[in-house]
């Protein structure tokens, strides 16, 4: 389907075939045991980048937060179960970048 769409209009093909409102709901399944990578580093990257993608989709206005609230909460629960907690370290706390900032339930409509 993607190749056919590219024949007609190559620019933004993927965005037309899979809008953000359809991408966000299955994101919690991407973190399910069946989809998780086996290697620890790969799994960490998968969990972290999935979280950043969901944060970006929510903060960019690309999705309807009110309609997708249940999917976002499901993702947050799954992410919290898998998230690696930072180890204690010396020195000042690392400042959170916008993509690292957690989405809280209060942020949702």
Interval 61-91: pLDDT, tens: 889 999 999 999 999 999 988 876 555 555 5
Q: What is the dihedral of CA 61, 67, 71, 72, to 10 degrees?
A: 40
What DSSP state is assigned to residue 88? P
Q: Give the model's confidence band at 40: pLDDT under 50 very low, under 70 low, under 90 confident, else very high.
A: confident
What DSSP state is assigned to residue 107? G
Q: Are 2 and 17 in contact (CB under 8 A)?
A: yes
Q: Report the alpha-carbon distance of residue 63 to residue 59 in Å, rounded.
A: 9
CB atoms < 10 A from the CB of 15, how many?
A: 11
Q: Give the model's confidence band at 97: pLDDT under 50 very low, under 70 low, under 90 confident, else very high.
A: very low
Please provide the size of the chain in residues: 109
């Amino acid at each position: 389907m993607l190749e056919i769409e590219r024949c007609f209009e190559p620019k933004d093909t993927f965005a037309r075939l899979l809008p953000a409102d359809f991408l966000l709901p299955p994101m919690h399944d991407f973190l399910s045991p069946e989809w998780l990578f086996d290697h620890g580093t790969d799994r960490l990257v998968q969990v972290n980048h999935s979280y950043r993608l969901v944060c970006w989709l929510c903060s960019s206005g690309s999705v309807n937060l009110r309609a997708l609230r249940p999917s976002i909460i499901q993702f947050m629960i799954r992410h919290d179960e898998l998230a690696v907690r930072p180890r204690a370290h010396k020195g000042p706390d690392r400042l959170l970048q916008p993509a690292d900032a957690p989405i809280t339930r209060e942020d949702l409509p």
